[in-house]
Amino acid sequence: MQLKDKTVIVTGGGRGIGKALSIAFAAEGANVVITSRTTDQLDDVANEITDNGGNVLAIPADVTDQTAVEALVNRTIEEYNRIDILVNNAGINPRGLFLDSTDEEWHQVWQVNVMAVVHCCRYVLPIMQKQNSGNIINIGSGLGQVGHANLSIYSASKAALHGLTQSIAEEVWQDGIIANVLIPGPVKTQLSKPAWESTDTFRGQSDPWKEPEQVVASALFLATQPTDSGPTGQILSIMRRVSP
């Protein structure tokens, strides 16, 4: 088991990529702490993990709320005494023209896609520093590298996330902590459903969409890197090649 006795926190762990990663990490022997705002979804994932002999702690929380994040981290420490890996996966993705976007939409996306990561890192990093080891994996997006029409808010938030990750990596590498971005490419999740259900999203090209489970191998690669010498501040993209 590649992650035996490691403790992993996965935000947005109730569905999609977060669900797939949580199940896979548990199968690799990790103590998995899953969180999201939807209790029913968390319970379903937790039941699937325990039914397969895994160890899981489901904690409903709104990661945009600093108090909730602090409680999440404290509860994790109470249960497992350490945090080895943090996967910041929670995100939202509204669509629409930039000129039609509102301040409220920008604020909401920034809170979930950027500030939630800030909150989680702010409370987890001191613990990892005391341990002299830690691994942060932030789920990014190719749209954070190249913007796209109708996705200005999301693209801007993911570009910010990429920069934040690299800045954190520069600050904590001497503490034995690595931080990287995983760009999963187009994945069939509830978040991306309007795009993958659209027949003209990738006109004239083969289907680039993958299932959440196809992200697992790359996430495990990052999760199992040595924290004292592994890659840090990197952006790992697993975009599927799209042929014309």
Q: Alpha carbon of 190 to those of 61, 83, 104, 113, 170: distances in Å?
A: 19, 28, 22, 16, 34
Q: Alpha carbon of 82 to those of 43, 73, 74, 133: distances in Å?
A: 23, 10, 10, 10
Question: Which is nearest to 91 in space by CA: 73, 72, 66, 64?
Answer: 64
Secondary structure in 3-state letters for 10-33:
EECCCCHHHHHHHHHHHHCCCEEE
The question of whether 154 is a catalytic residue gets the answer yes
What Rg do the C-alpha atoms of the chain give, in angstroms?
17
Exactly one of 143, 154, 169, 215 is catalytic; which is it? 154
What residue type is 221 in one-letter code?
A: F
CA–CA distance, 110 with 161 (Å, rounded to integer): 10
What would the two tokens of residue 140 be?
A: 């990014």
CA–CA distance, 16 with 26 (Å, rounded to integer): 16
Using alpha carbons only, what angle is made at residue 102 by residues 96 and 107, rounded to the nearest 5 degrees?
Answer: 105
**H or E element that contains 39:** helix 39-51
Could you tell me if residue 207 is left (phi over 0), alpha (psi between -120 and 50 degrees) or otherwise beta?
A: beta
Strands 134-139 and 7-11 turn out to be unpaired
Q: Among all residues, which ones are annotated catalytic?
A: 154
